[in-house]
Amino acid sequence: MDSTSEEVQPARSPRLRVPPLLGAGMLMAMSAAGPGFITQTASFTVLYQASFAAAVVLSMIVDVAVQLNVWRILGISGQRAQDLAGKVFPGAGQLLTALVVLGAVVFNIGNIGGAGLGLHNLLGVDSRVGAAISGCLVIAVFLARSMFVVFDRTMMLLGIVKIVLIVVLVAVTAPPLGQVAIGTVAPKGLPLLAVLTLIGGTVGGFITYSGAHRLIDAGITGVENVRRINRGAWTGVLVACVLRIVLFLGFFGVVATGAHLANPNDAAGSSFLAAFGTVGLHLFGLVFWAAGMTSTMGNSYTTATFLQTYLGPVRRHFNRAVIVLIGLATVVFVAAGQTPQSMLVFAGAINGLVLPVGLAIILWVALRRRELIAGYRYPSVLLGAGVAAWLFTAYAAVLSITSIGSIFR
């Protein structure tokens, strides 16, 4: 069945075991914690050790400010980000869609590659074969008759696997929490770029809108659902924050012991190896595979929700459009064997632009276009937090533009 609306699909069927609010929250949180996020966290933890805790905390604060505003405005309006943007400024919807899709398509190649690498570590298969298998499994989710039911269940299951294994890593490594506390309030040698990179990779791009768009597809919209929308946003934010914290603690626990990392270029995999021995590589493979799968699912779904406004075939055959996006990423990775680094830098820079552009439009609705949210009186504290987050992300966008320029020099 081809539709984005759960009014057409049996979303309210008794078969649905994952509540829509939880499903939307998990989608946002698991989309953010992809292979790139895991690799990034491990590498930065090795470089900055306890001080990187400050970056993790700052990224969580920005995440809360951004997501609570995005979910509330989009949820009350009942319109996806690009549709709302188009009503605020002419051409803004097309611009936002172009930025989201450009970054998402490239990152999806990296996501499916991460899933392939995960299967390589888990089962010993070639990473290209692993990517092909993973791509087929994700496609199977979107071929299901009750797509949203299977989608939510799969996201939940893989998310639990990922969180449990990372918590086990923390329990085994027993990181020194005193050092973490000091690093959080008095970081040493931590550059702002590390903080901005972490924020861009966990809040920017398609991730900003994934949970809110899923909530709209579930039909949970309007002023009468503000409490439910807020609860869904907090669910996603809290899950994402817990994942950020335990992932950092797990890697820092290994670093704090002074353990020699077998492969400094693979800090994440080497950390699992140091903590669990040979079996650690298999456990890391499972974590990385789950991360690649959830991020591929969230990326492809959210990208299609943007494209459907402007492309009739995507709107009429939503499931097939998602499958095409997954297939494209899989074929490109299998053909190339890797995601070119310059493409990832370019996509990261694009994602750095998405956040301040989209957030500015959403905050403008709360400030000047309240008729788009049924005259809802927006909380001043929440709006203030959103403006502060926008100023921070706008500065990050300047660095993103610089990154784009460096690609072509």
In sequence order, the 6+-apart residues with CB closer than 8 A to the CB of 378 are 72, 366, 367, 370
Q: What is the mean pLDDT of the chain?
A: 87
Q: How far apart are CA 149 and CA 18, in angstroms?
A: 8
Look at the chain and count its residues.
409
130-174 pLDDT, tens digit per residue, is 999 999 999 999 998 888 889 989 999 999 999 999 999 999 999
pLDDT: which is higher, 39 or 297: 297
- CA dist 11 → 21, 142, 149, 153, 309 (Å): 12, 14, 7, 12, 22
pLDDT at 13: 44
pLDDT at 403: 56
The residue whose two tokens read 């996501």 is: 111
- Exposed/middle/buried for residue 145 (C-beta within 10 Å: 0-12, 13-18, 19+): exposed
pTM strictly above 0.85: yes
Q: How far apart are CA 285 and CA 281, in angstroms?
A: 6
E strand or H helix at 274: helix 267-276
Ordered structural domains, the chain, with CATH: 20-407 (1.20.1740.10)
- pLDDT of 240 above 70: yes
- pLDDT of 260 above 90: no
274-331 pLDDT, tens digit per residue, is 889 889 989 999 999 999 999 999 999 999 999 999 999 999 999 999 999 999 999 9
Structure-block tokens of residue 163: 């969180």
169-189 pLDDT, tens digit per residue, is 999 999 999 999 999 999 988
Q: Above pLDDT 70, what percent of the chain? A: 89
Q: How far apart are CA 73 and CA 80, in angstroms?
A: 10
pLDDT at 34: 85
Contact predicate 82/214, CB 8 Å: no
What b/e sequence results for 253-291 when a residue is b if at least 16 CB atoms lie within 10 Å of its CB, and e otherwise?
A: bbbbeeeebeeeebbbbbbbbbbbeeebbbbbbbbbbbb
Compute the average pLDDT of residues 221-235: 94
- pLDDT of 400 above 70: no
Handedness of CA 196, 202, 207, 211 (dihedral sign): negative
Rank 190-194, 225-229, 274-278 by mean pLDDT and report only the highest.
225-229
